[in-house]
Amino acid sequence: MRGSREQRAEPALSAANGSRGGGDAFAAIEAGLAAVAERLRESTVQVRVGGRGGGAGIVWPGRPGIVVTNAHVIGRAGRAAVETADGRVLEAPVVRRDPLRDLAALALPPGALPPPVTLGDCAALRPGELVLAVGSPWGVPGALSVGVVHSKGPGKGPRGPLINQGPTWVQADVRLAPGNSGGPLADARGRVVGVNAMVVNGRLALAVPCDEVEHFLAALGTPRAAA
């Protein structure tokens, strides 16, 4: 499944690389990004607790039935409502949370969820790389914003730490709003490199790197399924 999802995006991106005319190349790039955004939306869900506005979640690969979101989206609740892109609403128990890392995992029957995302190599991210964020800002499902990687490391600004904790973050110049929390941050090929968590300094988005999400999920005690 993972390979087939990557192949779906490649033709559009390859077309962009192969086009010679400026207008044709730009149109191909637009089409490629639109295709990437569409499959990201398919694997992104809305997460709500107690009927109030919540955030987003990601159908995670290699962990059948697992949706990853932010701990602050869930709060102290033991269950959450998960709404898929096709409008189905499912009740899911919270099976793990880490408030310090701002991560939470929800469990559902694997067959009830859309296809999972494909993971990228967050360790290879470089400043200036194009990234996309998908979520439900202000309750609008599947909204997309585009920006570039700022850096990867502790959340620091010119006057010191931006937040009270010192883990590694993917920092990107991407516009986020309430409802983006827990949604995917992906590279230009649609491979997820982080889980969007917060905005600092009014504009800089922080996302938990995908490799740290894998460490978080390893504590569930179930082996990662083969890709």
Catalytic residue among 43, 145, 181, 187: 181
* Known active-site residue 215: no
Q: Is 167 left (phi over 0), alpha (psi -120 to 50) or beta?
A: beta
* CB 155 within 8 Å of CB 200: yes
Catalytic-labelled residue, pool 19, 72, 151, 211:
72
- Is residue 181 among the annotated active site residues? yes
**How many Cα atoms are found within 13 Å in the side-chain-facing hemisphere of 14?**
6
Q: Is the Cα torsion angle 67, 73, 79, 85 positive or negative in sign?
A: negative
Single out the catalytic residue among 43, 102, 145, 150: 102
Active site residue 72: yes
Q: Catalytic residue positions?
A: 72, 102, 181
